[in-house]
Structure 1
Amino acid sequence: MLPVAPPDPRALPRTSLSTISVEHIRIDSIKSYAETRAALERLPHFDDRTRTLMQYGDIAKVRSALGEIQGDAGLVVFSVATHGDWLQIISGKRNVVQYVIGNVLVSTQMTQHELAAALYAPLRIVVYENESGAATIEYDRPSTLFGQFGNERVTAVARDLDEKIQDILIRAAT
């Protein structure tokens, strides 16, 4: 049997590790879980119409469609993960759902300068029924997530997103 040469260290993937500080926000709603969830469900939902337009490269139509979809809120729901339904697999159904919410144009303003910003854009928000029967909303402040990249162009956009998402969530909670 021939001896096996050790791998060339230059051929191995490089891994790095960093620790970041993230501000986590919790909003205890004055409304029930169902009412709070219904308020968030009224946000526009992203659809396949825009994806189809992007495939054909008509950027003017894409921008127009995004403007229509995003409406006054400036944010859309990309997806909903029904974690509460999933819990019935092990412990019984609960009222908890994760929303992926964002704005394509805002996301692209960040990812054009920092591709890794796509890790956090769009944002994840969780809504669940708390011990008192009302809703709780939790999420991580965008500027602290995106601030880790040290790119002021990205962080400035994220600061605007801080206000936009906070406003939407406070309105849903009251």
Structure 2
Amino acid sequence: MSEQITAPQISSTQISSTQIAIEHVTLRSPKSFEAVRAALEASVPPLDHAYAKLLQDGQVDAARDLLERQAPLSIFGARDHGGLLLTAGLTRKAIQYDIGNPLTAARMTRHVLSAALYAPIRVLLREDAEGGVAFEYDRPATTFGQFGKHEVDSVAQELDAQLRTVLADAAG
């Protein structure tokens, strides 16, 4: 016998959903995990988060100047997902990166704030059980394309090209 459970209704809450098509990219490398990681981290520097303090202090122009002097793409953060897999008894190499540019994000989110869901871009560098190394990510043009705004789409296309270039260079 099955039991039907009815969730409480909250009159002021509205929920909607939309299905979107995402292009998932896998970029394989003939190099070792360590070599690809070193190449990526050498070409895409860590983001200088000092801009956030400047913004907090009301120094918008100084924050913008700092961001404009940074690389076109930066690593916002990285997480060792391979280390997390040790909790499941697996030994794998996998690092999840957040890669992007705050000014690029602002160029999109000024038109559609929901674009902040995908900025920065999440990129996985992983080694599979057979030792194959690859980058994986969801193509920005498809994730941001769901918003149907030309201003966002054109920035996402630029981001696509930048991301593919740095990842292909690191992998090659």
Distance 1:8 1:92, change over 3 A: closer
Q: Distance in 2 between matches of 1:98 and 1:49?
A: 22
Partners of 2:100 and 2:120 within 8 A in 1 = yes
Partners of 2:23 and 2:142 within 8 A in 1 = yes
> Once the two structures are superposed, what CA deviation does each residue of 1:52-80 show, in whole Å capped at 9, x if it has no partner?
1111122221122112232xxx1000010
Q: Tell me, yes or no, if structure 1 residue 21 matches structure 2 residue 14.
A: no
Report deviation, 1:50.
Answer: 1.3
Q: Tell me, yes or no, if structure 1 residue 136 matches structure 2 residue 134.
A: yes
Residue 104 (structure 1) aligned to one of 102, 105, 110: 102
Report deviation, 1:31.
Answer: 1.0
> Once the two structures are superposed, what CA deviation does each residue of 1:133-155 show, in whole Å capped at 9, x if it has no partner?
24200111101000001111111
Aligned length: 164
Higher alpha-carbon deviation: 56-65 or 25-34: 56-65
Q: Tell me, yes or no, if structure 1 residue 67 matches structure 2 residue 65.
A: no
Report deviation, 1:8.
Answer: 8.2
The list of structure 1 runs, each at least 4 consecutive aligned residues, that deviate by more than 6 angstroms after superposition, is: none
SS in 2 for 1:19: coil
> Once the two structures are superposed, what CA deviation does each residue of 1:105-164 show, in whole Å capped at 9, x if it has no partner?
110000000010000011000011134424200111101000001111111110111101
Per the alignment, residue 46 of structure 2 pairs with 45
Per the alignment, residue 154 of structure 1 pairs with 152
- Percent identity between the two aligned chains: 39
Q: Distance in 1 between matches of 2:127 and 2:29?
A: 10
Partners of 2:92 and 2:128 within 8 A in 1 = no
Report deviation, 1:46.
Answer: 1.4
Q: Distance in 2 between matches of 1:166 and 1:52?
A: 31
Question: TM-score, with normalisation over the residues of structure 2?
Answer: 0.89
CA RMSD of aligned residues (A): 1.6
Q: Distance in 2 between matches of 1:77 and 1:117?
A: 18
Partners of 1:78 and 1:99 within 8 A in 2 = yes
Per the alignment, residue 12 of structure 1 pairs with 12
Task: Return 5+ residue gaps in structure 1 as ranges.
Answer: 1-6
